Structure 1
């Protein structure tokens, strides 16, 4: 028995010497050592369901299977078409009574009540504020509008079908102003993308792009030469462009604030500019009369009151022009030197409240229409400066008003809410 005990004890001693790190197990120990579980076997690769781990070897076969299923490409972002035709710019589907008015220049019509309701129209299409509207003088059934939604809309106002004839998306920023050329279906627009763009509406093509280093806020065709136009921008520069060459003919700069409006005099030899000079403490430069050919100011002390004027319009016959003032009135001046302000007459009643509210004369020059921040249109008698009629037109500020170039009792208006109205 002793021999067996000695034999087992010797075997354990040898084993302890060979493996010194192994602990001796005692059945009587209250805290036996923990048993170590074997490591789990590595998971098998499944090329279709699991991605390979970082740093693991990938066989050629596995790489080939992985490359056979390429990642899906991102969906392309839809780009809006620069020209969207939704109706017609032709006058074929206009009511025959209205068409006869347009062709006869609305003189001597015997039964205006017959079509009074048909002359009114509500035009919805812009998703943001409308900055300007302008009737075509050569195609008097068409109205153009410039919006903060980057779009220029062409409206076939009295069409029996689709009144929105087409949408022009050539600008990539808000459009500030729009003007029809006196020749054909050409339209000029400008905006926050620092460009003015000449568009052939009939073909839906952009024919010229006039680029500047400033936001272009206003444009105006020369009254005697439709190839020339003025542009005014945010850096206080006014430029005279030649649309045939796409180059600048003259540059008028006084290092003032942004140009708010420009207007040619009746003979086209001078023009009037209105600037935002609220930060320069030089209110006498708010309105300047320029010599077109010599690039020099003829007078810079036309308006000395501490208000900016977002709109300037000349009278169609008299030697006068008016300026919409942020003082909530329209001031009147002479277009002959020394370009005096008439301190005894002004057109009051509407409210501007900082909006770029515009005004316009009627065809015969007997009425002056102005928008208002309360959404109304105010009609003034030109001679007496009294309010003839107040029309509640829009829910938000009425920005621009435009008399029809043929039918004298039709007026269009646009609003900060994106709506456009046409009515008697």
Structure 2
């Protein structure tokens, strides 16, 4: 036994972890911890002090419990909500009242009207080389321009379409064409930018062409290539195209006497189960428009009436007799949703509210 203790109990001096107590007994020694890093004499940790709570004076004979002290402390440190300074209200740009209406006519003039002033309705007439309007720039086209649309994100760019089927993107800053979209189309009837300005829709007259699929084409603005030219395969031209102000769809006024609905996402399918079809087109350039909130659709008609449809259900909401001649265009007021302006094939303008 003593031999085993000596054999396994001997500890080398290099280990330094056991202390020999004699008679084969050893005691484990605790390792000496490393010395702590001395703090610099000039360093003193900064301790944040909580604000002193001033308690109301209490009579010396009354004992204040912990609960009462907590309540009094909370009342003393908290500030009443009425005493807190209110934030400044956000500044909102107030839109001016929409009392001016602009119209273009076949006499090569643009007229500005004061809708609410019955005594002097015509504010001014803008004619080519006329002192009534100031001409700032001129953009030369070798075709009759049928439609012009400004870019929704960049006011220096605008798109034009004309009688020769040419689609061109112009830059006001350089006064020249920056992009051209070639497809061999017929006369351009209408164009419409998407809300983000990355794509646009073109509607063209395909009556002299055997390819009716080119009546509606979606284009990529930057790459100048068509995204799809098989959107509307029916043998009708579309006089008007409009994007929904908030939803992912667009509508087209068809010469088949109805308004068609399409998806604004690939592959731009026609909704075969939804259309607006109580009015008539019959070859006239009848336009349609969404209301500002996108809940209603207004359309002109060959019978001189304005037709109001519910966007979701496609039901006819109201029919307004506006003119004796065909009603070719309608527009909602930008701030008053119940006011609609319309014009006739004869050149008359009427505002309903």
TM-score (structure 1 length as normaliser): 0.60
* In the alignment, structure 1 residue 272 sits paired with structure 2 residue 201: yes
Q: Which residue of 1 aligns with 2:102?
A: 144
Give the number of the structure with larger relative contact order, counting CA–CA contacts within 8 Å between residues 6 or more apart. Answer: 1
After superposition, residues 1-16 of structure 1 pair within 5 angstroms as none
Q: Which residue of 2 aligns with 1:355?
A: 284
Q: C-alpha displacement at 1:161, in angstroms? A: 3.0
Q: Distance in 2 between matches of 1:415 and 1:160?
A: 20
Asked if the contact 2:339–2:351 (Cα under 8 Å) also holds between the matched residues in 1, the reply is yes
* In the alignment, structure 1 residue 157 sits paired with structure 2 residue 127: no
Q: Which residue of 1 aligns with 2:226?
A: 297
Cα deviation, 1:156-182, whole Å, max 9, x if unaligned, reads 1112530100111218xxxxxxxxxxx
* In the alignment, structure 1 residue 166 sits paired with structure 2 residue 127: no
Q: Which residue of 2 aligns with 1:229?
A: 158
For structure 2, the residue ranges without an aligned partner over 5 or more in a row are 1-92
How many residue pairs align between the two structures?
Answer: 261
Asked if the contact 1:260–1:310 (Cα under 8 Å) also holds between the matched residues in 2, the reply is yes
After superposition, residues 177-188 of structure 1 pair within 5 angstroms as none
For structure 1, the residue ranges without an aligned partner over 5 or more in a row are 1-102, 106-137, 172-198
Asked if the contact 1:395–1:417 (Cα under 8 Å) also holds between the matched residues in 2, the reply is no
TM-score (structure 2 length as normaliser): 0.72
Q: Distance in 1 between matches of 2:297 and 2:123?
A: 30
- Could you say what secondary structure the match of 1:285 adopts? helix
* In the alignment, structure 1 residue 334 sits paired with structure 2 residue 263: yes
Q: Which residue of 1 aligns with 2:333?
A: 404
After superposition, residues 8-407 of structure 1 pair within 5 angstroms as 140-170=98-128, 204-407=133-336
Q: C-alpha displacement at 1:386, in angstroms? A: 1.0
Asked if the contact 2:127–2:133 (Cα under 8 Å) also holds between the matched residues in 1, the reply is no
- Could you say what secondary structure the match of 2:226 adopts? strand
Q: Distance in 2 between matches of 1:249 and 1:408?
A: 37
Q: Distance in 2 between matches of 1:418 and 1:259?
A: 22
Q: Which residue of 2 aligns with 1:178?
A: none
Q: C-alpha displacement at 1:149, in angstroms? A: 2.1
Cα deviation, 1:183-233, whole Å, max 9, x if unaligned, reads xxxxxxxxxxxxxxxx9x9x8201111111111000001111111110001
Q: C-alpha displacement at 1:245, in angstroms? A: 1.6
Q: Distance in 2 between matches of 1:161 and 1:104?
A: 27
Asked if the contact 1:230–1:240 (Cα under 8 Å) also holds between the matched residues in 2, the reply is yes
Q: Distance in 2 between matches of 1:344 and 1:163?
A: 44
Structure number with bigger Rg:
2
Q: Distance in 2 between matches of 1:237 and 1:157?
A: 35
Q: Distance in 1 between matches of 2:98 and 2:267?
A: 37
Q: C-alpha displacement at 1:267, in angstroms? A: 1.2
Asked if the contact 2:231–2:270 (Cα under 8 Å) also holds between the matched residues in 1, the reply is yes
Q: Distance in 1 between matches of 2:120 and 2:172?
A: 32
Q: Distance in 2 between matches of 1:395 and 1:280?
A: 34
Q: C-alpha displacement at 1:139, in angstroms? A: 6.5
Asked if the contact 2:327–2:344 (Cα under 8 Å) also holds between the matched residues in 1, the reply is yes
* In the alignment, structure 1 residue 415 sits paired with structure 2 residue 344: yes
**RMSD, aligned α-carbons:** 1.7
Q: C-alpha displacement at 1:104, in angstroms? A: 6.1
